[in-house]
Amino acid sequence: MITTHALTKRFGSLTAVDSIDLDVRPGDIYGFLGANGSGKTTTVRMLLGLVMATSGRIELLGQPVPAAAGRVLDQVGAMVEGPAAYGHLSGRANLGLLDASGSRRARGARRDRTERITQVLEQVGLAGVGRRPVKAYSLGMRQRLGLAAALLRRPRLLVLDEPTNGLDPQGIREIRDLLLRLHAGGTTIFLSSHLLAEVEQLCTRVGVLDRGRLVVQSELADLQAPTGRTLVRTPDAAAALALLDGRVEHRDGETLLVRGGDPAALNALLVGSGIRVRELGPERRTLEQAVLELTGPSSDRVEG
Amino acid sequence: MIRVELLKLFRRPRTWMTIGLLDALPTVVAILLAVTGIGPRPGQGPAFLSAVLTNGSLFAVAALAIVLPLFLPVAVAVVAGDTVAGEAASGTLRYLLIRPVGRTRLLVAKLVSVFAFVLTAVVVVSGTGYLVGRALLGDQPLSAVAVTSVSGTSLTSGQIAGRTVLAIGYVAFSMLGVAAVALFLSTVTDSALSASMGALAILIGSSLLLTIDASRALQPYLPTRYWLSFIDLFRDPILWRNVLRGVALQGVYVLVLLGAAWANFTTKDVTS
């Protein structure tokens, strides 16, 4: 769905995006991770033909961008750097204007416009918002409206930049469910975010951007692979420590970190020796650990 | 896309506020003239004001002359400066472009909507001027009175009507020059205010240079040089020289600036 080859963008002497090769496959929910200022938004803008690449190639749905942007972008729904709307108009009027915009090919048919707008407003949970102008919307409502605009054309590919920004926990949950439903319906989703938890809960594949370079691109499960150690929580920590002499890497109160990737065997050994086990399981790297290992210090940190 | 842009323009309260304010000044002038009956001495003050006391139908043109030096250019610069920069500042520009709306198409639609605004403003101002003038100033039946031209001879009401239409067209075209400057600046900056102010700065600079003898060599090329030449349309016979020069000069400004706006907008990075 999205392929880039050595995609690079320089602003003067600053290299914002440095030779990245993205590969988003049909059916992915792709999490595009990176700290603030790592080049995520510039990349998204290049994918959508808003910013011209300095060098490299982009293919969106198999077509070159920006050359064929007019032909492919009508199958892509996107939200870039927050939603935007005309404040003096209602959400419905905004969607109507957007739907009527574009070339004859790109714009929506007038006949079922009202119906489609009603449908997307329902999808994002704004059905009852009425004629209120957008300037009276809360941040979360604007975010939902932005999402509705992206969905207006039933896109094959959704490109979303921080879609849950400004939403409360229930709202985040709703949007996550909506994205999962869309994904189940066959939509490929490219989700750019710095919220690791969000990506961890939603995505199947991740790419991590660090200061303009793509430092990893793989299945989420591979990044979270077991580390070959087992976490044990036991009220008899001292006894366990004595039994497992030398295999315990770290002890923190009741919690022991034991070398060896076979929790079942370890459990049998402990219980067999009369040591009570409260919790036991393989240690997995969290996405956060994986990302922090792969990336440098925060890029909006400015050292003197 | 043009339809959408026109909808956006005319559904916006600001558009009508601007046109309303444009109408206010000539109306106030008409009321003052009607109440006091004191016109400026011929040759002083805005054009035609001394003539309107005898015939209110000329007030359509007088209203244009009143708003032309400052009010009308300000209004046009504000609307045209807002076209691209305003969308950029509110973030809607990126959503239009990924809709996708081709950049050339968007620029053309913006241009048409600005032109529609200019035309509406000029027509409404002169129309209001005509009505207010007829109601408050001279209310003699048109056919009964011959209007005195700027040259001193008489014009029939038919001649006046035709020449008023020409004047409206000329003023609208002159304002298109302002619109082109503001539209170009609007593609350069993401701040609508900067674009409008930049366009006004150019116009004020031009007007200032027109008053300085030392800049005589430059004067034929200054954008505001021939603005008031529409008065020549009310001479008898019509003095075409400056009117035609004005049209040609504005034409060049409009073409060059719109070309620059197109070249800039179609290649720039949209980072707003």
Is the distance from CB of B223 to CB of B250 less than 8 angstroms?
Answer: yes
Counting the structural domains of chain A, the total is: 2
Taking CA–CA distances from B86, the nearest residue in chain A reads A86
A79 pLDDT above the threshold of 50 = yes
Which residue has better confidence, A299 or A191?
A191
- Among A150-159, A285-294, B231-240, top mean pLDDT goes to A150-159
Residues A117 and A190 reside in one and the same domain:
yes
Residues A260 and A196 reside in one and the same domain:
no
Q: How far is CA B68 from CA A55, B40, B170, B196, in A?
A: 49, 18, 11, 17
Every domain of chain B and the residues it spans: 2-267
**Model confidence band, residue A303 (pLDDT cutoffs 50, 70, 90):** low
pLDDT (tens digit, 9 = 90+) per residue, B212-260? 999 899 999 999 999 888 888 888 788 899 999 999 999 999 999 999 9
Report the C-alpha gap between A300 and A285 in whole angstroms.
25
> Average pLDDT, stretch B110-125?
93
> Average pLDDT, stretch A125-149?
90
Establish how many alpha carbons lie within 13 A of residue B104's alpha carbon, considering only the half-sphere containing its beta carbon. 3
**Model confidence band, residue B139 (pLDDT cutoffs 50, 70, 90):** low
Give pLDDT, residue B148: 64
pLDDT (tens digit, 9 = 90+) per residue, B181-215? 999 999 999 999 999 999 999 999 999 999 999 98
Report the C-alpha gap between A256 and A280 in whole angstroms.
10
Is the distance from CB of B234 to CB of B150 less than 8 angstroms?
Answer: yes
3-state SS of chain A is: CEEEEEEEEEECCEEEEEEECCEECCCCEEEEEECCCCCHHHHHHHHCCCCCCCEEEEEECCEEECCCHHHHHHHEEEECCCCCCCCCCEHHHHHHHHHHCCCCCCCCCCCCHHHHHHHHHHHHCCCCCCCCEHHHCCHHHHHHHHHHHHHCCCCCEEEEECCCCCCCHHHHHHHHHHHHHHHHCCCEEEEEECCHHHHHHHCCEEEEEECCEEEEEEEHHHHCCEEEEEEEECCCHHHHHHHCCCCEEEEECCEEEEECCCHHHHHHHHHHCCCCCCEEEEEECCHHHHHHHHCCCCCCCCCC
Per the CB < 8 Å rule, is B100 touching A102?
yes
- Residue A243 included in any domain: yes
Is the distance from CB of B138 to CB of A107 less than 8 angstroms?
Answer: no
Give pLDDT, residue B266: 93
What percent of chain B is predicted at pLDDT more than 70? Answer: 90
Report the C-alpha gap between A58 and A43 in whole angstroms.
10
On average, the pLDDT of chain B sits at 88
B122 pLDDT above the threshold of 80 = yes
Report the C-alpha gap between B125 and B128 in whole angstroms.
5
Report the C-alpha gap between B157 and A213 in whole angstroms.
75
Residues A124 and A235 reside in one and the same domain:
no
**Model confidence band, residue B57 (pLDDT cutoffs 50, 70, 90):** confident
B146 pLDDT above the threshold of 60 = no
- Residue A290 included in any domain: no
On average, the pLDDT of chain A sits at 89
Which residue has better confidence, A106 or A285?
A285
What percent of chain B is predicted at pLDDT more than 90? Answer: 61
Is A110 part of the contact surface with chain B (CB cutoff 8 Å)?
no
Instruction: Please give the model's pTM, rounded to 2 decimal places.
Output: 0.86
Which residue has better confidence, A300 or B198?
B198
Identify the CA nearest to A216 among candidates A162, A284, A287, A299: A287
Residues A99 and A240 reside in one and the same domain:
no
- A86 CB neighbours in chain B (<8 A) are 8, 90, 92
Give pLDDT, residue B202: 94
Residue type at position B51: A
Find the chain B residues whose C-beta atoms sit closer than 8 A to any C-beta of A: 1, 3-4, 7-8, 11-13, 90-92, 94-102, 105, 267, 269-271
Q: What DSSP state is assigned to residue B11? A: T
CA distance B91 to chain A (A): 5
Residues A45 and A184 reside in one and the same domain:
yes
Identify the CA nearest to B57 among candidates B183, B125, B142: B142
> Average pLDDT, stretch A265-276?
89
Q: How far is CA A266 from CA A229, A236, A244, B196, in A?
A: 11, 15, 9, 75
Taking CA–CA distances from B2, the nearest residue in chain A reads A101
Residues A59 and A186 reside in one and the same domain:
yes
Residues A120 and A160 reside in one and the same domain:
yes
- Give the least confident one: A120-124, A153-157, A162-166, B257-261: A162-166
Residues A54 and A183 reside in one and the same domain:
yes
Structure tokens at B34: 């009607």
Residues A22 and A37 reside in one and the same domain:
yes
> Average pLDDT, stretch A256-279?
88
CA distance B148 to chain A (A): 48
Residue A134 phi, psi (nearest 5): -60, -30
3-state SS of B14-59 is: HHHHHHHHHHHHHHHHHHHHHHHCCCCCCCCCCCCHHHHCCCHHHH
User: What SS3 class is residue B102?
Assistant: coil
pLDDT (tens digit, 9 = 90+) per residue, A113-134? 999 999 999 999 999 887 899 9
- Residue A126 included in any domain: yes
> Average pLDDT, stretch B86-115?
93
Give pLDDT, residue B145: 47
pLDDT (tens digit, 9 = 90+) per residue, A15-72? 999 999 999 999 999 999 988 888 999 999 999 999 999 999 999 999 998 888 888 9
Per the CB < 8 Å rule, is B269 touching A51?
yes
B17 pLDDT above the threshold of 70 = yes
Residues A142 and A23 reside in one and the same domain:
yes
- Residue A303 included in any domain: no
Residues A155 and A230 reside in one and the same domain:
no
> Average pLDDT, stretch A132-137?
93
- Residue A162 included in any domain: yes
Taking CA–CA distances from A152, the nearest residue in chain B reads B99
Residues A264 and A179 reside in one and the same domain:
no
Instruction: Specify the residue for token string 């995006």.
Output: A17
Nearest to A51 among B7, B8, B270 (CB): B270
Which residue has better confidence, A150 or A107?
A150
Instruction: State which residues form the domain around A272.
Output: 226-284
Q: Give one DSSP letter per residue of B113-179, joined into a string.
A: HHHHHHHHHHHHHHHHHHHHHHHHS--S-GGG-PEEPTTSSEE-HHHHHHHHHHHHHHHHHHHHHHH
Domain boundary among A193, A219, A245: A219
| Residue A248, domain CATH | 3.30.70.100
B144 pLDDT above the threshold of 50 = no
B143 pLDDT above the threshold of 80 = no
How many residues make up chain B in this entry? 272
Report the C-alpha gap between B113 and B2 in whole angstroms.
7
Count of C-beta atoms within a 10 Å radius of residue B188: 17
